[in-house]
Amino acid sequence: MKHWPEYLGEGLGLGLFMVAAGVVATALDSPLSPLHDWIGNADLRRVIGGIAMGLTAIGLIYSPWGRRSGAHMNPAVTLGFLMLGKIRARDAAYYMAAQFAGGLVGVLLVLGLFGDAFASRPVSFASTMPGSRGVAVAFVAELFISFGMLLTILNIAARERLAPYAGVAAGLLVATYISIEAPLSGMSMNPARSFASAAPGGLFDNLWIYFVAPPLGMLMAATLFRCHERARAAVCAKLVHDLDQPCIHCGHQP
């Protein structure tokens, strides 16, 4: 596995994202946390959580390991780049395996740190679950936000002047989606992220939504983007293409 630094970067990226998600969810939503009482409005807590996770995503995307791997941190994103022919199938497989493993390790670390405050309701391992409007609405919502995320990233990355800010756009969408869409589906967009939260507590009832809708939405975005040949040619399988880092996808060497 000569590309092990990239695979490790993917696992580390989602692992740290899940640590942040677990800490933020426990701090804001656990009745055992002082912040839960200090910030009594649930909508405000969700917006604060969204901002925190958006900033976390941006930090990870622009981190040294994020710049090295491309910071997919999401099997659905990796599948989108695979459809576009921007990542080799072998690398995509290892990316996805690393994402699932890293996410699960991150959740287990938070469980060890916070115990029942993290595992018990309403935090429930920071799991993603359908909201009060039901499974169908959650599925459509996940499909829509996943489509919007990858299509936005691809279109920004295809423009030379805007490409360095693709990671910022991704983080802003994460913050916005958590703030607005989370009551519908829990805001996942990521099979590995949802599995990591579901596995320790056996919360598998509606996990299929997050295994089907995000990949489908992002594959739809990639399919639409393929129609723009000039834009497609300008995109590499990295959210931010750092010329100081080697790239296993396009062959760039610093």
Structural domains of the chain ordered from first start: 4-233 (1.20.1080.10)
Higher pLDDT, 211 or 40: 211
Band (228; pLDDT cuts 50, 70, 90):
confident
pLDDT confidence of residue 230: 72
Residues contacting 121, CB < 8 A, separation 6+: none
pLDDT confidence of residue 217: 98
pLDDT confidence of residue 187: 98
If you average pLDDT over residues 55-67, what whole number do you get? 97
Q: What is the mean pLDDT of the chain?
A: 96
Q: Is 154 exposed, middle or buried (0-12, 13-18, 19+ CB in 10 A)?
A: buried
- Per-residue pLDDT at 233 exceeds 90: no
pLDDT tens per residue across span 92-140: 999 999 999 999 999 999 999 999 999 999 999 999 999 999 999 999 9
CB atoms within 10 A of CB 146: 28
Q: Within a 13 Å sphere around the CA of 42, how many CA atoms are in the beta-carbon half?
A: 8
Rounded-to-integer distance, Cα 175 and Cα 169, Å: 10
- Per-residue pLDDT at 251 exceeds 90: no
- Per-residue pLDDT at 232 exceeds 90: no
pLDDT confidence of residue 254: 84
pLDDT confidence of residue 234: 81
If you average pLDDT over residues 76-90, what whole number do you get? 97
Rg (CA), the chain: 17
Rounded-to-integer distance, Cα 40 and Cα 28, Å: 10
pLDDT confidence of residue 34: 93
- Alpha carbon separation from 156 to 18, 223, 241 (Å, rounded): 26, 16, 12
pLDDT confidence of residue 240: 92
- Per-residue pLDDT at 1 exceeds 80: no
167 touches 240 (CB < 8 A) = yes
Rounded-to-integer distance, Cα 192 and Cα 183, Å: 20
If you average pLDDT over residues 64-90, what whole number do you get? 97
pTM (predicted TM-score): 0.96
pLDDT tens per residue across span 146-157: 999 999 999 999
